[in-house]
Amino acid sequence: MRKLMSAAGGLLAVAVFGLAAESQANEAGRKAERTACIACHSLRLIDSQRLSAAAWGKEIDKMVGWGATVPDRQVLLDYLASEYSDAKPVPAPAMSVGLK
């Protein structure tokens, strides 16, 4: 029983550490998005895109060519490819206030 509890505790610690690392990576990606993308684009435009990792890489390279500042390309690419993957559905457009 003691070994089982120890193993469960170890698995819980690994899971918590993994979630914390994922949260830190997500926050770094959001920060990169704010720094590199939102200076010129609304979040709505970015949120409406669904691209593969390769296509996001091309978009980043294109934007850098046009003058965007991307401090860490890989962090931004990982974040965009995860959050706005072509495997995820495009969200429904937000309704304007007063329209139904």
pLDDT at res. 19: 46
pTM for the structure as a whole: 0.69
Cα 11 to Cα 94: distance, rounded to the nearest angstrom: 40
| Cα separations in angstroms, 96 against 22, 39, 65, 84, 93 | 34, 23, 34, 23, 9
The DSSP symbol for 85 reads B
Q: What is the pLDDT along the chain (100 residues), one digit of tens a residue?
A: 566 555 555 555 554 444 445 677 789 999 999 989 998 999 888 989 999 999 999 999 999 999 999 999 999 999 999 999 999 988 887 676 665 5
Cα 24 to Cα 94: distance, rounded to the nearest angstrom: 28
As a whole number, the mean pLDDT across the chain is 81
